[in-house]
């Protein structure tokens, strides 16, 4: 089953310094029928104004992944971590037993565009931790490049959950066949371009939640940049 959520159907929030389109209930937006997808709890499509951001605030028992699409984000936390993450890099935070952090647009002149993703961890009360990883954008051309996975690697952040986040840039008229074990889920986000998944069309910024489909064909109707998450 492929359930498409068109970009224009998502809740839109504009605070002046922050423009956000959450895929799930978040903050002022609450829909009791749209709170999660498997272990996935948040997918926020955010644009943050130059020099602005989120002041110190707490988290616990959540795996938080930030994918920077353009610009750079500055992170600070009570563990002493201070880091700047740019496009081509991934930020992963394990809130675990409790963590306080702040995030800001690192630029005073340019907007920051990002996807922020939250997932329930495989167990509660983990030791809080933070990491930034880098990937080579050329390695995602016409393939699925893992940028976050349970085991991690020198090019992928490690996450405390049985899941993998892939990025791909697919040329027009090219296709990828994705297979997974029975009973798992796929969350797909079209960042740029247009795709079809087993004949189902997806426009820019559309998302799809896919269940009971262990094999699927992803084809580019035009050059497309997308994220695919393999979930339990």
- Name the binding residues: 57, 59, 101, 103
Closest CA to 92 of 122, 131, 62, 56: 131
In angstroms, the CA 51 to CA 48 distance is: 8
Chain-centre distance for alpha carbon 212? 22
Looking from the CA of 214 toward its CB, the CA atoms found within 13 Å total 4
Binding-site annotation: residue ranges for Fe cation? 57, 59, 101, 103
The Cα–Cα gap between 65 and 57 comes to 16
| Three-class SS state of 220 | strand
Q: What is the sign of the dihedral through the CA atoms of 213, 217, 223 and 229?
A: positive
Cα–Cα distance for residue pair 118/67, rounded to 1 Å: 11
In whole angstroms, how far apart are CA 224 and each of 29, 43, 125, 173, 220?
29, 19, 39, 10, 6
Sheet holding 99-105, edge to edge: 53-59, 99-105, 72-77, 82-86
């Amino acid at each position: 089953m492929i359930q498409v959520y068109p970009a224009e159907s998502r809740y839109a929030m504009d605070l002046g310094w922050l423009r956000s389109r959450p895929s799930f209930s978040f903050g002022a937006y609450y829909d009791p029928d749209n709170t999660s997808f498997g272990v996935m709890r948040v997918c926020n499509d955010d644009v943050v104004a130059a020099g602005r951001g989120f002041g110190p605030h707490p988290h616990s028992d959540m795996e938080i992944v930030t994918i920077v699409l353009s610009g750079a984000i500055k992170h600070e936390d009570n563990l002493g971590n201070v880091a700047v993450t740019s496009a081509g890099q991934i930020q992963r935070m394990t809130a675990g037993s409790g963590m306080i952090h702040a995030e800001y647009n690192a630029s005073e002149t340019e907007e920051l565009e990002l996807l922020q993703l939250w997932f329930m961890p495989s167990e509660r009360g983990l030791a809080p931790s933070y990491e930034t990883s880098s990937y080579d954008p050329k390695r995602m051309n016409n393939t699925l490049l893992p940028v976050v996975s349970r085991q991690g690697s020198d090019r992928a952040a490690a996450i405390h959950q049985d899941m993998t986040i892939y990025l791909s840039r697919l040329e027009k008229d090219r296709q990828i066949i994705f297979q997974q074990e029975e009973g798992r889920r796929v969350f797909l986000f079209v960042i740029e371009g247009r795709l079809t998944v087993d004949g189902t069309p997806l426009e820019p910024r559309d998302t799809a939640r896919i269940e009971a489909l262990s094999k699927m064909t992803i084809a580019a109707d035009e050059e497309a940049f997308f994220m695919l998450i393999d979930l339990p």
